[in-house]
Structure 1
Amino acid sequence: MDAGEHGTAPDRPLSLAPERFSRTGRPAYAVIDIGSNSVRLVVYDEIGRAPFPRFNEKALCQLGDGLARTGALTPDGAARTLAALRRFHAIADAMAVSRIDVLATEAVRRASNGPDLVAQITAQTGLPVRVLSGDEEAFFGALGIVSGFYRPTGLSGDMGGGSLEIADVRDDRVGSQRISLPLGALPVRRLLESGLDSAKARIDALLRDGVPPELSGGTFYAVGGGWRAFARVHLAARRAPVQVVHGHAVPAAELRDFAKSILKLSPAKIATLPGLPRRRAVTLPAAALVLDRTLKWLRPERVVFSMLGVREGWLYSQLSEAERYLDPLVEGAQSFGLPFARVPAFAPALTQWTAGLFPNETRAEQRLRVAACALSDYAWRDEAGLRAAESFRRLLQFPLIGLDHAERVFLAAAIHARYGGSADDPVLSPAIGLLRPELVRRAQLLGRALLLGYRLAGGVPEILAAAAVHIDDKRVRLIVRPAARVPESEVVADRLKLLANAAGVRRIEVIEAEPGDRRDGGS
């Protein structure tokens, strides 16, 4: 199941492909995940590199409740699970889903009557069930991290209802070190019934005996519903400017302190915590305790929370090698942005138009610029006066993957500027504080260049290809060849002035150049 030898992945392609992104003719795909505590159906818009969940529903079936005492699934838990599967199958059929994969994890694989439940599911729904081993669950959970972040390196930890899986992640692949421990929400809740100190000692013993020394340090990617709920509480407590779980990064020491503060609260107080989903109140202490002890043992420098886990890792494993190497942010941005653009083919033209704006641009910076181009026309149907502010708010919350919170703010700020938003717009605060001043300026510059491109070419790629913009420390030059046909325009001049202001220069020039003229910069 290893993804291959550890190594450095090649750079991912960053080109835009409008022909691949249409709102019609894309068959939906579904995964049903049978866990120890819940059963969930997620319907994705397609099997792709950055699929968007079209439908997401969870049923708390508590399938693993009592498993430790009896070694078997309870009749009530099995009945609830079968009912959930029948409902989910009907929903998927009604949505014309092209394929449904059913995965089962800790409770089903450990239970003496797990095979009986699997047989009943297939008999009642016609759906085969893939029961994952502990190693496979760790592998696919870690593969979810590979699919959801930009070149992640560190450890993945997936705490579910019945177990905790830990694996090492090396850029584009999952390493050979993978473990599964009985430290899910349900068994840890039972440990806590004997007292916090007793539960802590038992968890420490399991970690000490089960975690090899190679699994330590670096970044810890936290996966699973309990830890996502914990992240929401932390985001609310910090009043974080970006209230998105995916990509929420916190120093490990800070997170351990927060976990310990949760463990001191009464159940009644926990139930009132801002940001906490109501159903997660009873399992939050277990999630906090396992996170605290796991971080103590693994000693990572920071924790990054992930919305992607086993389901997305499984989906990612179904892709071709070429599809896996596509950039998750760029794929998500064009999947969201291009079908809603007036002229989808204009976005690739913008990537060329903006390519020379930033000398010595890194690959990480390039992917943000390309993503901004893909999103640059998604809000054109909004009322003109609302586009800038609403775009900023949406992109701070939109389920894009492959970026951290600061990169999310950068992307939102660039699109805000593209729609004419000013640098002192109150809507930017407090999120804009996540960016260094030079990155704020960079986002403004990129957004103003996109605004100029749309105004100059009217969404026509051929017109934009016949023009180029150059910025130095004294001026902004717009170089226009005859095919552009619009060298004299007051509106274009106004957009040039906005670009010059973002660049910190005052002088603007519009130059008409013939093909081959050295002044056109070879663009």
Structure 2
Amino acid sequence: MLDATGQRADLTGLHQELDPDEVLAADHTHYAVIDIGSNSVRLVVYNDLGRAPLPRFNEKSLCGLGSGLDKTGELAAGPMACTVQAAHRFCAIAEAMGASRIDIIATEAVRRATNGESLIKAIRERTGRDLRLLSGSEEAHFATLGVISGFYRPKGLVGDMGGGSLEVAEALEDRVGERSVSLPLGALPVEAMLEDSAESAKRQIDEVMKGQLPPLLTKPVFYAVGGGWRALARAHMEAVNAPLKVAHGYDVDANDLRSFAKSVWKMTPDKISALPGVPGRRAKTLPAAALVMDRLLKNLRPERVVFSALGLREGWLYSRLSPTLRRRDPLIEGAQAFGLPIARVPAFAPALVRWTESLFPDETAGERRLRLAACALSDMAWADHADVKAHQCFARVVHFPFIGLTHTERVFIAATLHARYGGKPDDACLQPALSLLTPAVQRRAQILGRAMQLGHRFSGSVPGILDMARLRITADAVRLEVAEGSEDVPDSDAVQMRMKQLAKILGVPKTEFAGA
């Protein structure tokens, strides 16, 4: 994989450990990207240039820069003026927010227009900043990097449908594959095709795709990027009453999604506007997004479609990271960046990782990263009222913009923290999201959460105390062993109660408290 300087990055072996000192010492210098697309100009100001970027501010201006481009070959004066003004305003906002760097990138409309250079010059004169015009292959590259940054070693084809074009490329865990294509199948040109008839548009799209799409030679997964497709995902989530209504990581059977997409692009405008979950501003472009999705799935024949909230802008940001930062696990980085600064004792999270290390003898690498993330978040609700800690913690985690995890993994972490704060397994707030977990995984979340709760209570969230103890699980007992010289470790009723709760979930008859 090439970074922004053209150098190949070595991403073998992700770094997956908690580091409170580094997290607390981090300099959160904001980073801004202004993305000039065929339909909108968008500003995103990120908290910092890091492995788990968190948007602090996100706004767009619908300038319609690519409107009429197919007929005239030029950018119209009105949309050009709107774009220049939006770029100027967004630069001012980013500067006022203290962004240390502001990158302006432009895509298909500016690239195709005969007067694109005039717009670039006008933006440079108005903002005092240079603009990077991306080629079609660069669009595909950075959109795919966005998916690589947002998931845990993704494999499959990535499609990014924007206002003017559709880019398709390969994601190969930590790099972009060699096969990619940029097609004139964005929302605006497809909307123009649909003005004649849906069947005519379908034939035109098939003709454009014919012989140009890269073959799906990796895992049979298609990663969908772009606002139009996220709107389609939200409509589908509502239609099937999905247990968790989060667009990023939404995983759908490709045949089911294709059937739904076909039904959408055949709907009347009134029916589309009435679809639950579809933002009003997306109703107009939804038929185009659905039609392109339908034809793509017909041609590529993947088994699954996974939707991504990260794309071109996040890929651009990811390309600016050092190879060391790229080797960080995005889930763990995001969890500790959020959880450790608000914890009472940030250094307790690594101690909790050590405390729970032997809890599951069969733990896989994938399960370990979820345990680390849960430990990093284990003190996030300490200041909340006791009656609502478990409920609020669960609701917050299942909807927080963490990346690098599936919906099932997201619910597992949330259920673990719900148990850590004393939530009961039959709590109504867990449904319907908990239905994504098998009974065995639900039990695992309960065990980990209760062990974390015991560790916090027994040690007073003091790392040194926790490190002097060991949790041993045998066939007949939950045994808390403390090192010699730690007689001051509390053996209170509260500790005994939490040991009994853990023993009950484990199905062992008794608890013991003794010296090691």
TM-score when normalising by structure 1: 0.95
Counterpart in 2 of 1:517?
none
**Root mean square deviation, CA, Å:** 1.8
* 1:142-161 to 2 correspondences below 5 Å: 142-161=144-163
Post-superposition shift, 1:214?
A: 5.4
Q: Classify 1:138/1:215 alpha carbon distance in 2 versus 1 (closer, same or farther; 3 Å).
A: farther
Task: Please state whether the residue corresponding to 1:385 is helix, strand or coil.
Answer: coil
Question: Which of 497, 500, 506 is matched with 1:494 structurally?
Answer: 497
Instruction: Tell me how far apart the structure 2 counterparts of residues 196 and 104 of structure 1 sit (CA, whole Å).
Output: 30
Question: Which of 10, 13, 16 is matched with 1:11 structurally?
Answer: 13
Counterpart in 1 of 2:392?
390
Post-superposition shift, 1:235?
A: 1.1
Q: Classify 1:13/1:25 alpha carbon distance in 2 versus 1 (closer, same or farther; 3 Å).
A: closer
Aligned length: 513
- Structure 1 range deviating more: 307-316 or 499-508: 499-508
Counterpart in 2 of 1:49?
51
* 1:225-374 to 2 correspondences below 5 Å: 225-374=227-376
Which whole-Å deviations, capped at 9, do the CAs of 1:368-418 have from their partners, x for residues lacking one? 000000000111111111000011111111100011111111000000000
List gaps (5 residues or longer) in structure 2: none
Post-superposition shift, 1:133?
A: 0.3
- Structure 1 range deviating more: 23-32 or 447-456: 23-32
Q: Classify 1:322/1:5 alpha carbon distance in 2 versus 1 (closer, same or farther; 3 Å).
A: closer
| Contact 1:223–1:308 (CA under 8 A) maintained in structure 2 | yes
Post-superposition shift, 1:19?
A: 1.8
Counterpart in 2 of 1:126?
128
Question: Which of 501, 507, 511 is matched with 1:508 structurally?
Answer: 511
Q: Classify 1:5/1:311 alpha carbon distance in 2 versus 1 (closer, same or farther; 3 Å).
A: closer
| Contact 2:168–2:214 (CA under 8 A) maintained in structure 1 | no
Post-superposition shift, 1:21?
A: 2.2
Instruction: Tell me how far apart the structure 2 counterparts of residues 326 and 485 of structure 1 sit (CA, whole Å).
Output: 39
Question: Which of 427, 435, 451 is matched with 1:425 structurally?
Answer: 427
Task: Please state whether the residue corresponding to 1:449 is helix, strand or coil.
Answer: helix
Instruction: Tell me how far apart the structure 1 counterparts of residues 239 and 463 of structure 2 sit (CA, whole Å).
Output: 47
Task: Please state whether the residue corresponding to 2:180 is helix, strand or coil.
Answer: strand
- Structure 1 range deviating more: 289-298 or 13-22: 13-22
Post-superposition shift, 1:217?
A: 6.3
Counterpart in 2 of 1:108?
110
| Contact 1:217–1:299 (CA under 8 A) maintained in structure 2 | no
* 1:412-491 to 2 correspondences below 5 Å: 412-481=414-483, 482-483=485-486, 485-491=488-494
| Contact 2:458–2:491 (CA under 8 A) maintained in structure 1 | no
Post-superposition shift, 1:257?
A: 0.4
Post-superposition shift, 1:215?
A: 5.9
Post-superposition shift, 1:216?
A: 7.5
Letter in 2 for 1:14: Q
| Contact 2:2–2:9 (CA under 8 A) maintained in structure 1 | no
| Contact 2:157–2:216 (CA under 8 A) maintained in structure 1 | no
- Structure 1 range deviating more: 472-481 or 315-324: 472-481
| Contact 1:177–1:215 (CA under 8 A) maintained in structure 2 | no
Q: Classify 1:352/1:430 alpha carbon distance in 2 versus 1 (closer, same or farther; 3 Å).
A: same
Task: Please state whether the residue corresponding to 1:21 is helix, strand or coil.
Answer: helix
Q: Classify 1:258/1:5 alpha carbon distance in 2 versus 1 (closer, same or farther; 3 Å).
A: farther
Instruction: Tell me how far apart the structure 1 counterparts of residues 204 and 474 of structure 2 sit (CA, whole Å).
Output: 64
Post-superposition shift, 1:483?
A: 3.3
Pair 1:81-2:83 in alignment: yes
**Fraction of identical pairs, as percent:** 58
Task: Please state whether the residue corresponding to 2:387 is helix, strand or coil.
Answer: helix
Task: Please state whether the residue corresponding to 1:230 is helix, strand or coil.
Answer: helix
Q: Classify 1:217/1:470 alpha carbon distance in 2 versus 1 (closer, same or farther; 3 Å).
A: closer
Post-superposition shift, 1:473?
A: 2.8
Instruction: Tell me how far apart the structure 2 counterparts of residues 64 and 38 of structure 1 sit (CA, whole Å).
Output: 9
Post-superposition shift, 1:182?
A: 0.2
Instruction: Tell me how far apart the structure 2 counterparts of residues 5 and 324 of structure 1 sit (CA, whole Å).
Output: 13
Task: Please state whether the residue corresponding to 2:341 is helix, strand or coil.
Answer: helix
Task: Please state whether the residue corresponding to 1:285 is helix, strand or coil.
Answer: helix
Post-superposition shift, 1:273?
A: 1.0
Post-superposition shift, 1:511?
A: 1.2
| Contact 2:156–2:216 (CA under 8 A) maintained in structure 1 | no
Post-superposition shift, 1:78?
A: 0.5
| Contact 1:467–1:484 (CA under 8 A) maintained in structure 2 | no
Instruction: Tell me how far apart the structure 2 counterparts of residues 403 and 178 of structure 1 sit (CA, whole Å).
Output: 25
Task: Please state whether the residue corresponding to 2:486 is helix, strand or coil.
Answer: helix
Instruction: Tell me how far apart the structure 2 counterparts of residues 64 and 338 of structure 1 sit (CA, whole Å).
Output: 45
Instruction: Tell me how far apart the structure 2 counterparts of residues 69 and 485 of structure 1 sit (CA, whole Å).
Output: 81
| Contact 2:36–2:104 (CA under 8 A) maintained in structure 1 | yes
| Contact 2:198–2:266 (CA under 8 A) maintained in structure 1 | no
Instruction: Tell me how far apart the structure 1 counterparts of residues 58 and 10 of structure 2 sit (CA, whole Å).
Output: 34
Which whole-Å deviations, capped at 9, do the CAs of 1:438-496 have from their partners, x for residues lacking one? 10000001100110111011111111100110113321111111337215221111111
Post-superposition shift, 1:499?
A: 1.2
Counterpart in 2 of 1:206?
208
- Structure 1 range deviating more: 478-487 or 494-503: 478-487
Which whole-Å deviations, capped at 9, do the CAs of 1:250-275 have from their partners, x for residues lacking one? 01000000001112211011111111
Counterpart in 2 of 1:520?
none
Instruction: Tell me how far apart the structure 1 counterparts of residues 448 and 304 of structure 2 sit (CA, whole Å).
Output: 31
Instruction: Tell me how far apart the structure 1 counterparts of residues 236 and 491 of structure 2 sit (CA, whole Å).
Output: 54
Instruction: Tell me how far apart the structure 1 counterparts of residues 167 and 395 of structure 2 sit (CA, whole Å).
Output: 35
Task: Please state whether the residue corresponding to 1:168 is helix, strand or coil.
Answer: strand
- Structure 1 range deviating more: 137-146 or 263-272: 263-272
Q: Classify 1:213/1:10 alpha carbon distance in 2 versus 1 (closer, same or farther; 3 Å).
A: closer
Task: Please state whether the residue corresponding to 2:310 is helix, strand or coil.
Answer: coil
Counterpart in 2 of 1:141?
143
Task: Please state whether the residue corresponding to 1:477 is helix, strand or coil.
Answer: strand
Task: Please state whether the residue corresponding to 2:223 is helix, strand or coil.
Answer: strand
